């Protein structure tokens, strides 16, 4: 039985993250995924219809017919998307594994212990493999899934180095990335149905942004250290411990609804810092009925 002592009381009352992670999704995530699914199906149907129409027309062609044929051929490339994405994921993780250090009981044991603890709180009996990679000054982490068996989490060394000074920061990052796996954001199916819509301005980044909000919400349910992590992302690993969180809260209230902040947020695949900070603070104050602003 997993230890639920570290699960936030309000989260347990809302939905146990071990058994009901779906309820932590941001309210915009699944509607946007549904739109992506509809667009992909429509493009595939129209492409097939255009291709068949070209076959029926035989040698009689004009500019419109040629355009329809081209559209049909490009649309049918969607059928190859699963294979392309499948192979690309294996190649990408191979590059990471070849240039990163795998975390385990005898390799960064403190990070390993924390990782196992967070995974247990989230109800993951066999968590993905964890790697630490040199980010060359970049603060980042991500989740990858090649298939149901091969799943990974990669955190950059710029985050891992905080383990001694601020382990709670590393904890929330780990919880966030595991949330992507728990909510199946990196599954092959999700990547396939969002492949084409991700090429459409605003729609693609909005779907990803909603997923990032969802991962924050699920991570929040098992880990109460989001303030430290957002200040890390906004100020970097060298001075994040000096950030005044009360002032950052005031800043997020003052700036999150400015028009150009909204514009920046709409065009971003992650919520901008002040909106992301405010979203997590709102959960602290109002519970999980609070959802981060998409616009």
The tens digit of pLDDT for each residue in 86-105 reads 888 889 889 989 999 999 99
As to burial, measured by CB atoms within 10 angstroms (0-12 exposed, 13-18 middle, 19+ buried), residue 63 is exposed
Checking if the pLDDT of 2 tops 50, the result is: no
Which of 115-124, 144-153, 208-217, 231-240 is predicted least confidently? 144-153
Give buried/exposed letters for 87-119 (b at 16+ CB in 10 A, else e).
eebeeebeeeeeebeebeeeebeebbebbbbbb
The three-class DSSP label of residue 121 is: helix
Q: Tokens 């994040």 appear where?
A: 240
Chain Cα centroid distance, residue 4:
24
- The stretch 45-62 carries a mean pLDDT of 63
Which of 78-82, 118-122, 262-266 is predicted least confidently? 78-82
| pLDDT score, position 71 | 54
| pLDDT score, position 13 | 63
Which of 31-35, 77-81, 144-148 is predicted least confidently? 77-81
Checking if the pLDDT of 64 tops 90, the result is: no
Checking if the pLDDT of 141 tops 80, the result is: yes
| pLDDT score, position 89 | 85
- The stretch 109-121 carries a mean pLDDT of 96
The tens digit of pLDDT for each residue in 149-162 reads 789 999 999 999 99
| pLDDT score, position 233 | 94
With a pLDDT cut of 70, the percent of the chain lying above it is 85
Distance, CA of 77 to CA of 74 (rounded, Å): 5
When the pLDDT of each residue in the chain is averaged and rounded to a whole number, the result is 87
CB 241 within 8 A of CB 187: no
| pLDDT score, position 3 | 45
The tens digit of pLDDT for each residue in 161-212 reads 999 999 999 999 999 999 999 999 998 889 888 888 888 889 999 999 999 9
Which of 1-5, 36-40, 41-45, 148-152 is predicted least confidently? 1-5
Which of 49-53, 107-111, 265-269 is predicted least confidently? 49-53
| pLDDT score, position 4 | 44
Q: Where are the beta strands (DSSP E) in the chain?
A: 100-102, 129-133, 141-145, 151-156
Higher pLDDT, 2 or 13: 13
Checking if the pLDDT of 70 tops 70, the result is: no
With a pLDDT cut of 90, the percent of the chain lying above it is 65
């Amino acid at each position: 039985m997993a230890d639920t002592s570290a699960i936030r009381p309000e989260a347990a009352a809302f939905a146990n993250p071990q058994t009901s992670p779906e309820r932590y999704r941001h309210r915009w995530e699944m509607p946007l995924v549904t739109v992506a699914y509809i667009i992909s199906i429509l493009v595939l149907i129209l492409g097939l219809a255009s291709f068949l129409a070209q076959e029926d027309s035989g040698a009689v062609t004009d500019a419109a017919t040629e355009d329809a044929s081209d559209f049909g051929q490009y649309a049918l490339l969607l059928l190859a998307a699963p294979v392309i994405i499948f192979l690309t994921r294996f190649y990408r993780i191979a590059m990471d594994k070849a240039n990163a250090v795998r975390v385990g009981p005898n390799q960064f044991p403190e990070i390993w212990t924390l990782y196992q603890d967070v995974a247990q709180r989230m109800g993951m009996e066999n968590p993905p493999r964890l790697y630490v990679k040199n980010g060359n000054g970049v603060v980042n982490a991500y989740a990858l899934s090649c298939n149901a068996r091969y799943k990974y989490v990669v955190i950059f060394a710029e985050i891992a180095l905080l383990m001694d000074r601020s382990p709670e920061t590393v904890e929330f990052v780990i919880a966030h990335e595991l949330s992507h796996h728990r909510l199946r954001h990196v599954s092959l199916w999700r990547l396939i149905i969002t492949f084409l819509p991700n090429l459409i301005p605003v729609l693609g980044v909005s779907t990803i942004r909603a997923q990032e909000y969802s991962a924050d919400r699920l991570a929040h349910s098992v880990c109460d250290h989001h303030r430290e992590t957002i200040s890390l992302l906004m100020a970097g690993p060298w001075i994040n411990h000096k950030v005044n969180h009360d002032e950052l809260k005031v800043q997020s209230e003052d700036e999150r609804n400015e028009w150009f902040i909204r514009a920046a947020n709409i065009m971003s695949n992650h919520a901008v810092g002040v909106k992301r900070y405010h979203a997590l603070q709102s959960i602290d104050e109002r519970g999980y009925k609070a959802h981060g602003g998409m616009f």
